[in-house]
Every structure is written in structure tokens, then in C-alpha cells.
Amino acid sequence: MEEIKRYQLRGLTGEVKRVRFGDRVVDYWAPDGGSDSLLIAHDGQNIFDWRTATNFATWRLAQNASRVANELNQRPPLVIAIFHGKTKLDPHGRARDLCPEDAFRDGIAPAQKPTINVSQLRGNSYTAKIFEEILPAILAETNSKITPERSAMIGSSMGGLATLYALINYSSRFYTALALSTHWTLAGAPLVDWMLARIPKSELHRIWMSRGERGYDAEYPPFQDLANQKLIEAGWENNFESKIFKGAGHNERAWAKQIEQPLRYWLAKL
């Protein structure tokens, strides 16, 4: 882990640290003395720093998580924000990282002609690096002791897919998946069927899914409704919530306005 920089944010004590794990950049923040809960976020460019965020809008994720935790008399969570790999040299890097790789290796066909082929996907190595390299190093650095029961992952759009995909492959490492504006239209109903059939069911795991009504989110209703139906049929009715945000679009400002509800869904149960 190589430190790149530190910076402060209004409304947040201490410093956000930016580090590098090989070619993967990560921002993270922890309360003084570490934490006993953990939130891993995809699209790390949009989580803390307005200078790297899409349209200069962040989720204010750590500030919101700290506020909700304080209201619930809890220690604020350690927040780890994983940057996606899109660059000028790799313009499809985000899709390569966040795509549920095995679904497409199993023959699921994308809804549109793909700009990258299956052999270029790296969703498996992306999630493996998070849990096997990034997470242990940051836990040790921040003196945080985390259990799966108090760990969550969050993402929007392709990050929503990546969050559910991580729950399939790493269900023993975190128990709460928070998926906003899940990009089901990447492959439609077959992708819903593939993923929901593989999410492990237990009384310990919980899933939040939500969508807006504008932009890409306007195309999600039939697929999100199918996902809701399959979760209920699989016995998840007491362990998941599906929310519609009226009039909301598909962008960072919309997700920042929504973020309190999934955070409260997670933290209120700890």
C-alpha cells in the first residue's frame, strides 16, 4: 500500500487518505481509533473528492454515514472507496471492473453489441483484490476490527451489479448489500435470473435495492420488479427492501440525496 496524498473534508474529522495498491487507487476514512463497522463503496472517484467526481458531485458518503451512526449512538464506520479503472488508455475500464464476469462467461448475452469481449472482463480479479489485499491492509492500518455482520458494500448502476456479484462470491465477508439503480438493462431478465439464483440465502444477509424514475432508471422497472419477485419467492421478504425514489435521476446528486435511507437500513440493524 503506497500513500499518495491526504486531504480534509468539511463536516468530517480527521483526514481522507488516498493510497495505491499496484494500479488500483483507493480513498479511505476512519474515525480516530478505528471502527467496528465497514462500508466498501464502488466508483471511489465519486465518494469523497469533488475534484475526481463525475460532474464534481460526490455522495458525501462518510459525512452521511457518520451522521446516521451518531444518531444511532454508534461509532462511525470505516469507509473504503475503490476507484474504478477507467482511464484515457482504458476507456472501458469501469465496465471491465464492475461487470459480473461469470454471468457473461456462462453465456449471458449483453442487451447491446458489446464494446469489450468476455476475455477482457476483470470483475473476479477486481473483487478478489478488494477482499484479499485492500481490505486487510486498511483494517490493519486503521486498527479496525470488523466482523461480516457489521460490514456492507454499496454501489450504484454498474456498481449495484458489482455489489450483488460480490455478495455471490464473498457472502462470508460482508452481510449487507446496498445496490442503488442496479443496471439490470446490461443484459435484462436473463441477468436478473442468473444473479438472483446465485445469491446465498441466510437469515444473516440483507439486501437493499432502489431506483429512480428518470434517465437510465426509467428503463429499470420490469427488471427490478422481477428481482423483487424472485427475492420474495426465495424467502427474502424479511431481509430485503426495494425502494422507488419518485422523480429521481441516474446521477451522483440523486444518489447523494437518497443515501441516508440505505445507510439507515444497514446501521439501524447493527
Give the count of domains, the chain: 1
| φ and ψ of 246, to 5 deg | -60, 130
Q: How many helices (H) and strands (E) does the chain have?
A: 10, 9
Output the pTM of the full model. 0.97
Domain that holds residue 27: 2-267
User: 22 and 134 in contact (C-beta within 8 Å)?
Assistant: no
CA-CA distance, 20 to 224, in Å (whole number)? 35
CA-CA distance, 122 to 99, in Å (whole number)? 8
Query: What is the CATH classification number for the domain harbouring 20?
Result: 3.40.50.1820
Instruction: Please list the pLDDT of the chain residue by residue as tens digits (270 residues).
Output: 999 999 999 989 999 999 999 999 999 999 999 999 999 999 999 999 999 999 999 999 999 999 999 999 999 999 999 999 999 999 999 999 999 999 999 999 999 888 889 999 999 999 999 999 999 999 999 999 999 999 999 999 999 999 999 999 999 999 999 999 999 999 999 999 999 999 988 889 999 999 999 999 999 999 999 999 999 999 999 999 999 999 999 999 999 999 999 999 999 998
**Within 81-209, where are the H helices?**
93-98, 101-105, 123-129, 135-142, 158-169, 189-196
Residue with cell 469507509: 79
